[in-house]
Amino acid sequence: MTWNDRAGTYIIEGADLILPDAILPRATLAVRGGRIAHILAEQDWHELSSPSELAKIDPSFDGAPLIHAADTFVAPSLVEVHVHGCGRWGFERVAGPEDLLEAAAFLERKGVGCFVPTILWNERALASLASAILASGLPRETVPGIYLEGPFVNPAKRGGIQPENIRPVDFSLARKILDAAQGLLKIVTLAPELEGIGPMYRIFQDAGVLVSLGHSDATLQSLALPEHPYSMTHLFNAMRGIDHKEGGLANLAFSRSPDYVEVNGDGVHVNETCLRLSARAVPSDSLILISDAVVGAGLPRGTYRYFERDVVSTERGVRYADTDVLMGSNRLGMDIVRSFTSLAGVPLWQAVRAMSLVPRRALGMAKDLGSVEIGKVADIFIWEKEMKSAARPSALLQGMAHRGSKVQKRK
């Protein structure tokens, strides 16, 4: 796969465009040199009879290929900002760049154009993952870096983190982590009640790492907050829940203090009522949908191996076979978006925004990526109406060139 295949000039006609704040039906999207040049609603076609005549007002589209895409959606590529694995790949066991390339191709088929491999603390695993990313040649807009969950978290709220992956606050270890990550550490989860955590925030933030609060038993009175920007790791999971007196870390999500708040929208990690609460009480510019997916995600249900232990993928997510502890999701990308849309009762565009534009902003990439807007890179997928399969425009254009004909309405 070519990872810089988004360049090109073409027109998509008749699709419903998923914009950051609405869905524009039966619209025309014109891309010039890989960037979105025009977005035209049906009523915008005044003196022109069809999108093929766009060259009358913009000569750069003279002879541009036209993709007929009625009964489809055009959406920005989705971002898996917190993902431990997918398919047969667990990111803590990446053997080399080939594993990452195959995982990236697997996620592309799910409409995911950006992912942040997430692992627990293990020096060898972190160093191996960083080396694989550097050797893979994958661009930073596809793999921006690494998400490290721990090791400075509260064992009382470790969730799926094993005891051997947890350490007390240690500044020399923090620097060792940064060295092992080879400049690729992007996000780190820290528990805000740990003794000495304040200076630890600064070590990571000075290195350009986004601090995310989580795996915490803190009350509102016992936590120490980092400087902005900061995030929260999988709201409601592995933390004290909402309480009207002491308050847990979950209360903080609704204070409008965190810049970003992750929520797992798979319907297993967080129940429907709390998904609805999150959709309504967390600002839309802060809410990030995550999958927290693990090995086996996107594959048929069954038993898989994770750190020499059996894990079972069912309708209840992925759980350790011996303890039944939930350790991750088996849903990915648009599956999360569709679940959140249904359970939280929000419009599709709002859920897509939470898994595209907002995480791109958290990663410092929203100027050029993350939404269908004029001037931005056309990092987009064309989805059929059930939103179960998607294709890059480049793949459709290649098919057009091979057949010598226009792309017709997708079935």
pLDDT tens for the chain, residues 1 to 411: 444 456 789 999 999 999 999 999 999 999 999 999 999 987 766 556 666 678 888 899 998 999 999 999 999 999 999 999 999 999 999 989 999 999 999 999 999 999 999 999 999 999 999 999 999 999 999 999 999 999 999 999 998 888 999 999 999 999 999 999 999 999 999 999 999 999 999 999 999 999 999 999 999 998 899 999 999 999 999 999 898 998 999 999 999 999 999 999 999 999 999 999 999 999 999 999 999 999 999 999 999 887 778 889 999 999 989 998 888 899 999 999 999 999 999 999 999 999 999 999 999 999 999 999 999 999 999 999 999 999 999 888 886 655 554 444 333
Cα distances from 15 to residues 64, 317, 362, 384, 397, in angstroms, run 17, 33, 29, 10, 16
Beta bridge partners of 212: 189, 231
> CB-side exposure of 194: number of CA atoms within 13 Å?
29
Q: What is the pLDDT of residue 312?
A: 92
State how far Cα 14 lies from the chain centre.
Answer: 27
Q: How many CB atoms neighbour CB 53 within 10 A?
A: 12
Q: Phi/psi of residue 101, each to 5°?
A: -65, -40
The reported pLDDT for the residue numbered 53 is: 76
Tokens of 383: 């989805």
Ordered domains of the chain (ranges, CATH):
10-75+372-403 (2.30.40.10), 78-362 (3.20.20.140)
* DSSP helix, strand, coil percent of the chain (3-state; round to 5): 30, 25, 45
- pLDDT for position 5: 55
Name the residue type at position 317.
G
Whole-number pLDDT of residue 397 = 87
Q: What is the pLDDT of residue 12?
A: 95
Peptide bond into 97 cis (omega under 30): no
The three-point CA angle 333-358-94 to 5° equals 50
Residues near 245 by Cβ (< 8 Å), separated by ≥ 6? none
Nearest to 40 by CA among 31, 32, 28: 28
Cut 0.85: pTM above it: yes
| The predicted structure's pLDDT at residue 1 | 44
Prior bond of 163 cis (ω within 30°): no
pLDDT of 2 reads 47
